[in-house]
Structure formats: structure tokens, C-alpha cells
Structure 1
Amino acid sequence: MKRLSRSKGLFSRYTTPGLDRVLFSDEKLFTVEEASIRQNDGILSTCTSAIPEKYRFVKRVQKPLLVTLWAGISSVGLTSLVFVPSGVKINAATYKELILEPLVKDLGKTMFENGSFVFQQDGAPAHIAKSTHEWLDANIPHIITKVEWPPSSPDLNPLDFSLWPTLESRACSKSHTNIESLKTSLGREWENISQEMVRTAVAVVHRRLKSVIKQKGGYIE
């Protein structure tokens, strides 16, 4: 099972201090709609009328306006957000043009004091394309390759299990009338994420890897 074997490999390779050098990255879609109440945040009541009106329903439309973000997180902090232009699909070419070249390429100088870091990305098609890996081999000395990162593992990426949900709950606590309002809110709340939260999110990755191994590759949330 790839998820189990790769989790074992990462667990052995990266101790908790070793994770300090890893930059975890991810893309995420956000819509102008109000964030929905998650299952664990439900309200218990014997009748609908007892629930405050604002919590009864969250309006949804068939095709809401949305924006795609890219970001990175490491124990030393967060990268800036990259807003993918409307209508642009992330493929190998646009991934390089919008994210790798202008931002990731110089992170060794701008984000990590010793100039050395390990770049992580998931198995999205743009990430595992041949041209992407040729660029990474030429520009980023250390990466977690496509055969090292466990497949379908959002529960191991701090952005997925911690930062994205937090950002969505804060920036989308109410609906937005347009994309610019959404972008402004996302940018503001991203800047407000504390360094303590960032360090904690990265620090628990090693423990999560251990949990995946204990569950023989099972998911932990």
C-alpha cells in the first residue's frame, strides 16, 4: 500500500526538527459564498424554530464565483498567497509561470536563513508533469518527489488539515458580493494567522505520520 510505505519513509527521513526545513504547498478553491457549518460544528435542537435564523440555512447558488489560491507553509512562516487569474487553469506551464518561477525559486534566499529547504507538493497533474520535475531538478536542490509523498493525503499537509479550514472560516464567515471582496478578505486573514499556529501545524505532521503507520495506512480524520 503506497500510502503506508511512503508514510513510513517520511517518518524515518524527517524527525520533528527535520520538518523545519520542509515547505508544504497546496492549491485551494474559495468561493464568495459563506462557509458552511462543518459536521462537527452542528447545532443540536429539538425544533428548527429554536435555532437562530442565521444558522438555519446557508444560501447556495449553482455556479458561485470562485478563486484559486496557492500557498506554502513551513515552521518559519507562510509564503505570500498566489491568486490564480480568473479563467486560468493550473497546468505545468502556468504552474511554472505563476508559482515556481516568481515565488518558489527564491525561497531559499527570502524565507530560509541557511538557504536550504525541502519542497513538498502533492500528486496533482501539474505537479508531477515531466517539465515540472525538470524545472525542480534544475532549480530546487531538495524536494519530496512524487514517489515519496503519500497519495491522497490531505491529512498530512498542514495547509489542508489546519490552515485552509481556518482561513475559510475567517475570510468567508459571511458571503461576499464579488471576487475582489473575497480576495481582500483572504489576504487580510492570511496575514492574521499567528506564527504559533503555523509552528504547531507543522510540528504535528510527524505525529500524524506515526498515526497513519499505526493504522496501516488508514486516514486519521
Structure 2
Amino acid sequence: MESERSAIIELHMAGKSPSEIFKLLNIAKGRRAFIYRTINRYKETGDTVDKPRSGRPCSVTTSALKKVVRERIRRNPHRSMRKMALELNISRRAIQKVVKRDLGMRSFKRKKVQFLSGSVKEKRVSRSKSLLALHAIGVLENTIFSDEKIFTIEEATNSQNDRVISTSVSAIPDKFRYISRMKKPLLLMVWAWVSVVGRTPLIFIPPGVKINAKTHQELVLESVVKGLSQTMFSGQQFVFQQDGAPAHTANTTQDWLKHNIPNFIHKDEWSPYSPDLNPMDYSVWSILENKACSVSHNTVSSLKISLGREWEKIPQETLRAAVEGFPNRLRAVISKKGSYIEEMTRQSLPNSSY
């Protein structure tokens, strides 16, 4: 401790700012205030010795305790701080101080993810490498990323940060306190595509229609995708992408694409179980749902109007940023050896405050 204080004062006398000292000495983030206190004490007293204080010295959060807690977390990071406090016969607050302030750690929520077998991971790596190679030579320059999503009339919520400010629980009005849920809420299936240069209007699948190869070809491919060569991409090449849904990978669908779309990502070229590679999944649908479903809707018609209105409001710059994140995600899959790249999802979401 004294050596740290001496180093801080030496750097301070050399004209270094507190933030520069923080970086140079690599002091733990939770002890940033320690630098300021040391400098202020030196200015006041000309020394770094602690001022006389009331109360007894720290006897709980000792070096030995820090070592024990660090080792327990290393063996099993899925630990409860409350249980550790009981096992070590100290307060929960003391454990929290050690974990956050001294060890520089914090707790994270576990995530439910799709199971990925070894063979699936291998395919994700090999196909990501192939797609990245095609992207590097400009083959995927005008890629259209497409997807379907089911929306409900219920309010969309985020369990991580959905909070209500009030003096007490009983003081919260019911409409803010509770989120209504139904056993069988009304549904609406939507299809859309995005690219760096534009998007399609939302395609609403009629209620009761089961999406199979035949209906997918009639409602989406024939009516929307087929005419792109003469409309948005007139005179330009584009590449059509869709995921591994059964309606997409059916032989009749692949044959239709071969005869009608000059360039498309074949079912054996797209990585399996990879919503983390499709901008619609890892970004665009979330942006739309947060806006259009911020409140519940009474009818499917109301939901449809809200979706269409908010879809048009999303800036093209936001969609472009989502699409341009695709090659970086391919690299991330390769780097992670085909495993999950969910931690990248939040970091790479474009700014959706429009």
C-alpha cells in the first residue's frame, strides 16, 4: 500500500494527471478513488500517511479472505455470494466488496442457447470460412438477408432492465406494475429482407397459412424476390440469403432459386443453427419489436399498423450498420471454433434510437 502511495506521489510530482496515473500503475478499477485521496492527503499534509481515524482497522476483508474467495470462484464461478457469505461466516456485504472492489468481478446472467454438437460447430467454422472468402473477393457485396418472425399482440419486455420507479410496490399503478400475458395470444408472422442499400416493405403472412415450401415460394419468392432484378437491383448483381428453415431448404425451393435467382447462398453454404450470423436475427427484428411492441395491442390489425409504421422509421444507416457487421461475425465464429458468439450480440447492435 505504501509503495503504491509513493509511486502515485512521484507520478503526481512529475505532472501526471490522476487518470494517467491510473493507467500507468494499472490499479484496479474499483480503487480509482484511492489515487485522488492519496494526492489530496499529500497536498493537505505533505505526507501520505493515513490520518487518525475512529473505529477499528479492517479485520474482515483481509488478503487471506480475498485469496479464499478468488479460489472458490475459480473452481466454480456459478456461485451464490449469499451462500459464500454463510460458508465463510461473514456478511454478504463483505463478500460483495471483495468480489466487486478487490477482485474487479461482477455477476452476469446465464443465457439459454441452442445446443451445438461438435459436428455443427465444425460446419459453422468451415462454412463461415467459405463465406468470408467469398466476401473478401466481393461476391457477397450486395447480399440480401431475409427472415421470418412471429410477433404477438402482447407487450414486448426485457427482463434484464424492465423497471418501474416508485416509492413502494403498492404505490405502482396496475398498468405499470403488471405485464399481461395470455395463454394463446394472437399472432402475426412477418417476412422481410434488408441490405446495405435498402429493404423490402414488410410482408404479412395471412393468418392460418402454414409456411411450407409451396407457400414460401408463392407468397415470398414469386411475389417479392423474383422481381428484384428489375426493380431495386436493376442492372446490378445481388445475392439472396435465407436460413435453414425446412421451407427454405426444400429441394423445390432450391430448384426455384436456381432457375430464378442468379446468385443465392445454397442451403449447404449457410451455417446451421446460426441466427447470430443473420442481421435480421441479431439486430433488426429486436429494433423493430422494441419500437412496435412497446405497448400491447388489442387486435392484429393494430399490431400490423404499428409494425409497418416503425419499420419505415428505422434509418437505412441503422440497417446498413447491422449488415456490415456480418463479416466480423463470421470471423468471431471462426475464432470461437464454431461456438456461441452471443456476447458479441449486445456490443454490435446498431444505435436504434430513431
What is the TM-score with the length of structure 1 in the denominator? 0.92
Aligned residue pairs total: 220
Give 1:208 deviation, angstroms.
0.9
Q: 1:80-114: CA deviations, max 9, x gaps?
A: 11100000011011001100001000112212243
Q: Is the 8 A contact 2:132 2:330 kept in 1?
A: yes
Give 1:36 deviation, angstroms.
1.6
- Specify the alignment match of 2:218 in structure 1: 97
> Quick one: structure 1 residues 215 and 16, their matched pair in 2 at CA, closer, same or farther if it must change by over 3 Å?
farther
Q: 1:45-90: CA deviations, max 9, x gaps?
A: 9x97299555543211010001000000111111111100000011
What is the TM-score with the length of structure 2 in the denominator? 0.59
Residue 162 in structure 1 maps to residue 283 in structure 2: yes
Q: Is the 8 A contact 1:7 1:213 kept in 2?
A: yes
Q: Is the 8 A contact 2:229 2:235 kept in 1?
A: yes
Of the candidates 158, 163, 169, which is equivalent to residue 49 of structure 1?
Answer: 169
List aligned pairs for 1:49-88, cutoff 5 A: 49=169, 53=173, 56-88=177-209
Of the candidates 309, 312, 317, which is equivalent to residue 196 of structure 1?
Answer: 317
Of the candidates 226, 229, 233, which is equivalent to residue 112 of structure 1?
Answer: 233
3-state SS of paired residue (1:170): helix
- Specify the alignment match of 1:7 in structure 2: 128
> Quick one: structure 1 residues 177 and 2, their matched pair in 2 at CA, closer, same or farther if it must change by over 3 Å?
same
Cα root mean square deviation, aligned: 2.2
Structure 1 stretch displaced more, 15-24 or 198-207: 15-24
* Greater strand share, structure number: 1
Of the candidates 189, 194, 215, which is equivalent to residue 336 of structure 2?
Answer: 215
Rounded Cα–Cα distance in structure 2 between residues aligned with 1:57 and 1:216: 42
Structure 1 residues without counterparts, runs of 5 or longer: none
> Quick one: structure 1 residues 209 and 128, their matched pair in 2 at CA, closer, same or farther if it must change by over 3 Å?
same
Query: Larger relative contact order (C-alpha < 8 A, sep ≥ 6)?
Result: 1
Give 1:42 deviation, angstroms.
4.5
3-state SS of paired residue (1:76): coil
Give 1:115 deviation, angstroms.
3.1
Give the AA of the match of 1:61. M
3-state SS of paired residue (2:210): coil
Of the candidates 22, 36, 58, which is equivalent to residue 143 of structure 2?
Answer: 22
> Quick one: structure 1 residues 162 and 48, their matched pair in 2 at CA, closer, same or farther if it must change by over 3 Å?
farther
> Quick one: structure 1 residues 30 and 214, their matched pair in 2 at CA, closer, same or farther if it must change by over 3 Å?
same
Of the candidates 250, 255, 261, which is equivalent to residue 129 of structure 1?
Answer: 250
Structure 2 residues without counterparts, runs of 5 or longer: 1-121, 343-354
Structure 1 stretch displaced more, 111-120 or 24-33: 111-120
Percent of pairs with identical residues: 53
Rounded Cα–Cα distance in structure 1 between residues aligned with 2:143 and 2:177: 42
Q: Is the 8 A contact 1:32 1:177 kept in 2?
A: yes
Higher gyration radius (CA): 2
Q: Is the 8 A contact 2:279 2:322 kept in 1?
A: yes
3-state SS of paired residue (1:123): coil
Q: Is the 8 A contact 2:135 2:141 kept in 1?
A: no
- Specify the alignment match of 2:302 in structure 1: 181
Rounded Cα–Cα distance in structure 2 between residues aligned with 1:173 and 1:122: 28
Rounded Cα–Cα distance in structure 1 between residues aligned with 2:229 and 2:142: 10
Give 1:16 deviation, angstroms.
9.3
Q: Is the 8 A contact 2:127 2:269 kept in 1?
A: yes
Give the AA of the match of 1:212. V
3-state SS of paired residue (2:190): strand
Give the AA of the match of 1:196. E
